[in-house]
Amino acid sequence: MRIVSWNLWWRFGPWAERQKAILAVLRELEPDVVGLQEVWAAGGENLAEWLADELGLHCAWAPSDASERWQRRIGDPSVDVGNAVLSRWPVIEQDVLRLPVPEELDDGRLALYARLAAPHHEVPFFTTHLTSAPSASTVRVEQVTALAEFVAAHRGGTAFPPVVTGDFNAWPDSDEVRRFGGYKTAPAAPGQLFLDAWEYADPTAPSATWDPANPYVAVHDPAVRIDYIHVGPPGPGSLGHVRSVRRAGAGPVDGVWPSDHAAVVADLAAEETA
């Protein structure tokens, strides 16, 4: 089962050209499930729905209820922002969590849950986008606590471990990422652990998803991994075990970088092994 997590940089920059580049990357990856952040919708068009149609996938979409700060940045009040899930299998249940945040930082960040009717086991799948202010680690700790409780409420009824994707806007050794994982410090929800899929990566492989080599990233920023695929401990027969993980979309497509973020791609065991 191929999982992708990708922040699509909303409708910033040369978005029409980037849209084609995003599609090209996803088409080459042939994912089973994609968690997307910073997805735009405007005038009856929706980037996630367009991608799903082009790729032959199902789509779940959750718009922000506070897009005003985003809209002011491009001077267009008609463009919404949100999270989305694209899936090879039908979405049989979904829910949305509004992440907690102080009013001065509130730009409508969400977590989207979609239960997927995969052939062997239903998959509880989540995608989220945490607050981006560099000094807001305390806020993100509160957000991952709410996220963990949200996952706990929806993960049952299947042997497949929950899969949580997203732009956490936090370094791997940060308080918020460690707390969400729950295996380097106390877990955010009692007894609930999540493995950072990148723990299974080739240690020599490039890992940064926010990289000043990308022209959309400020040149003074450090190269760092802030995008994640988290998976609960494997189910029976190593179900959901991470087999491989890597970056994608980390370079231009026909001269255009698809996003300001690179994507994370993980292959998980979709069936139980003897």
| pLDDT tops 70 at residue 60 | yes
What is the pLDDT confidence band of residue 90, given thresholds at 50, 70 and 90? Answer: very high
User: Looking at residues 218-231, what average pLDDT do you find?
Assistant: 95
Phi, then psi, of 81 in degrees rounded to 5: -130, 150
CA 2 to chain centre: 14
Tokens 């973020």 belong to residue: 261
| pLDDT tops 70 at residue 274 | no
User: Looking at residues 10-35, what average pLDDT do you find?
Assistant: 97
What digits encode the pLDDT tens for the residues 238-265? 999 999 999 999 999 999 999 999 999 9
**What are the extents of the domains in the chain?**
2-268
- Average pLDDT over the chain, rounded to whole? 96
For 2-268, which CATH superfamily applies? Endonuclease/exonuclease/phosphatase (3.60.10.10)
What digits encode the pLDDT tens for the residues 95-123? 999 999 999 999 999 999 999 999 999 99
| pLDDT tops 70 at residue 85 | yes
Among 35-39, 67-71, 119-123, 241-245, the range scoring the smallest mean pLDDT is: 67-71
Give CA–CA dist 171/227, Å, rounded.
Answer: 9
